[in-house]
Amino acid sequence: MTSQWTQDKYHKKALKEGFRARAAYKLTEIQKRFSIIRDDDNVVDLGAAPGSWLQVLQALTHGRIIGVDLNPIAPMEGVTTVVGDFTTPEVQEEVRELAGGVVSVVTCDAAPKLSGATSYDQARAIALGEDALGFAVTLLKEGGNFLCKSFQGEDFPEFYAEVKKHFRSVRTYRPHASRRGSREVYIIAKNFKRSGDDA
């Protein structure tokens, strides 16, 4: 079980090692365990600000790395950023062009601003995950991978089932770097299967 000391440990470690947020260690742990990113993959990170996952991706792939967020992201070498709403066709087409038409992996560590009302926040988080899944289904190449943060709650099983419709391997994982008491869980979906209904 994580503790307040663990939370402080990851926060201090991020500062010491130059990561923009402690979330960097979640992606590092998931990659070590599930190998979702190969060294030549083009990766799109949704809700990428402030950019800690982009920093990790720099060390994982020599492919194109694209970060998308409503807010500007401080520049970093080897990373292209797009300011905009990833649910819009305009942003999706811009990303497709930047990726040279091939998106191998879509990651999303985004979360809505929390109101404190558990059921409401969980529903908004699931909706955000559904938007990320829609993006992935639209742009991913056949056999591509999808990693998305979600939150446990009454709406989660339905969302998880929807992800399973599009990928041959789907599982959940909670990294050690997650905060104590958080309901967050990550969906690791591998081997995208494009259907005739997918854009």
Question: Which residues are identified as catalytic?
Answer: 149
Q: Please answer whether residues 90 and 135 qualify as being in contact, where contact means their C-beta atoms are separated by less than 8 angstroms.
A: no
> Which residue type, as a one-letter code, is found at position 184?
E
> Which residue type, as a one-letter code, is found at position 87?
T
Q: Tally Cβ neighbours within 10 Å of residue 126.
A: 21
Contacts of residue 39, Cβ cutoff 8 Å, sequence gap at least 6:
60, 61, 62, 63
How far apart CA 104 and CA 142 sit, in angstroms, is: 8
Tokens of 94: 């811009």
How far apart CA 198 and CA 191 sit, in angstroms, is: 15
Q: Tally Cβ neighbours within 10 Å of residue 4.
A: 9
The enclosing H or E element of 147 equals strand 140-151
Termini Cα distance of the chain? 42
